Amino acid sequence: MISRCTFVFLFFVLGKHFLVDGLGCNWGTRATHPLPGNIVVKLMKDNGFNKVKLFEADPLALRALGRSGIQVMVGIPNDMLASLAGSVSAAEEWVSRNVSYYISNRGVDIRYVAVGNEPFLKTYNNQFTRTAFPALQNVQAALIKAGLGRDVKATIPLNADVYETDAGVPSGGDFRADIRDLMISIVKFLDNNGAPFTVNIYPFLSLYADSHFPVEYAFFDGTSSPVVDGSITYTNVFDANYDTLVSALEKNGFPSMPIIIGEVGWPTDGDPNAKIEFARRFNQGLLNRISRGQGTPKRPSPPDIYFFSLIDEDAKSIDPGNFERHWGIFYYDGTIKYTLNVGNNRNVTAAKGVRYLARKWCIMAPDANTMDPNFPQSINFACTYADCTSLGYGSSCGGLDIRNNASYAFNMYYQTMNQQKGACDQFHGLSVITRIDPSNRGSSCKYEIMIDTGRHEKVENPGTSSAGKMHISLVFVAFFVILEVNSFLFLIL
């Protein structure tokens, strides 16, 4: 999908059995004030996460992962596919700079290269259809030439819309007609090189895209709206979606193809269904299944699974929806959103050593008037350069009145600009700095103070994030245009 440090459960194959080998995550770095790499790595290790997927070869992240004992899947963005597809030497250079170097010189345990991310999404209109497979071939060839072919495998994380079922049940699964031949070629190449098929499955998006989608069918403990496929009854969309892929692989001659779930999770803000309770329910349900060694009806052993995501990203694209910035198990600063048992009766623990900017906020001035002609444009200006996604309908700050709406927007801009002198003076005399936290106790809406990215020593959390807090979504009701969102997840009903 989309952006991000996503939880991942990976398993080593022993004969025909899978044994849990720890936790992993997608670590996205699209943030205005990223959590320092050393703190993120410690956060992962403190919580038992020993595998991570990166969406690009971020130097700071890779350096932090050096000699950490954490296994890495390093990604290549879609905008690099054309250059890698067109030149073997470009692929060799990329592998040398981003794989060989970090393995040999930095001690990074790289196991996979993710070539692109969901390149065949229908919404991309075939933009990457001709480049993804050649890029995969060239990267794998470069890995082999570098002497890494046995230890590092190239794969393509794909969206679940690359397969479908005309019959409406998983057993009818096949690859999407317009890319079927291409998909078979890719799967054959992965199989020949001992690489897994990587797919991203998002039950949340099924619910988001269809107002008539049965809510209970999105969760693992739901009992309503089952789908009957011959002798098999599916009680949740994850199993049905996954087994549709298994059927597609079987139908095309790859019944034993290993599968990795590259992304799966639930956001906590930016949409009425993106909330703490649902995220906890979904992620805990999936973790419980993994701890029991439970797979799907067609594959009883659990696959390798990367939960999405580790940390929120406030600079991530919201083209798919405002929820895109709120997939993290943790908030942007590594604080806990909700209790999650990650195994052995161990709950997730917060990041340590996070340093924050000063305890001050930019809010609407008490004497400012909402009828001021500069009022609408001031809010629009603030939310153009800062993350206001939590102000959307059904989001954590969606219930604020008009003055608090403005205060939230002004403060997000002020914090995003590092509380710089003059940053709170951009709103035509409508704003003022305060040292009194404007967050209302008992409310899910919190006025943030950002991470001081230049200082890493341990300090106490100033209280602007909490375990009960939700995320951030766009839309100041009176002045913003609600964004139209393209849905791209294959749905199974």
Catalytic residue list: 118, 263
User: Could you give the CA distance from residue 91 to residue 146 in angstroms, rounded to a whole number?
Assistant: 11
Q: Any bridge partners for residue 255, and if so which?
A: none
CA end-to-end span of the chain: 21
User: Could you give the CA distance from residue 416 to residue 410 in angstroms, rounded to a whole number?
Assistant: 10
DSSP state of 169: S
In contact, 355 and 451? CB cutoff 8 Å: yes
Residue type, 133: F
Residue type, 99: V
Nearest to 288 by CA among 239, 232, 341: 341
Nearest to 159 by CA among 122, 204, 113: 122
User: Token match 């060799």: residue?
Assistant: 92
Nearest to 57 by CA among 18, 10, 14, 106: 106
Nearest to 242 by CA among 199, 189, 278: 199
Helix, strand, coil % in the chain, rounded to nearest 5: 35, 15, 50
